[in-house]
Amino acid sequence: MAKFDEILKDIQGQLPEKIEINVNKTICNATQIRQCETAKIAKDVDAMIIIGGKKSSNTQKLVEISKEYCKKVYFIQSINDLDIKNIREFSKIGIMAGASTPNYLIEEVKNVLDKN
């Protein structure tokens, strides 16, 4: 949302005063909440694991947000993409998933982390 608002402000600043534009912000509330929660979690952990499709724009945004606040961010599509050896060095790990990520994938990651 912040990036959207920044771009909108730039566009409005370039338009003559006589021109009025109407903008409808269409980001859904659930997506906005997920992005805010990602930022909150990423600020407080040693590593973030983001689960979701590599082509999912909302999941890619979660990765981008995580990288703003956390040095180690792992973007995985399934548990097979996670290098457990590397993750063991962190004491506090956050997990977030894209909106269309199935719950069973999130549970698999949580279970593997609990065992290690």
Structure tokens given for 25: 């912000």
pLDDT at 84 over 80: yes
pLDDT of residue 108: 94
On average, the pLDDT of the chain sits at 90
Give domain status of residue 52, yes or no.
yes
Q: Is residue 23 part of a domain?
A: no
Domain of residue 72, CATH code: 3.40.1010.20
> pTM score, two decimals?
0.77
Structural domains of the chain, count: 1
pLDDT tens track for 12-66: 888 888 887 887 777 667 788 899 999 999 999 999 999 999 999 889 999 999 9
Torsion of CA 96, 99, 4, 39, to 10 degrees: -10
Characterize the bridge pairing of strands 93-97 and 72-76.
unpaired
Q: Has residue 38 been placed in a domain?
A: yes
d(CA 29, CA 92) in angstroms, rounded, equals 28
Cα 52 to Cα 27, 84, 90: the distances in Å are 19, 18, 21
Percent of the chain with pLDDT over 70: 97
Residue 4 inside a domain? The answer is no
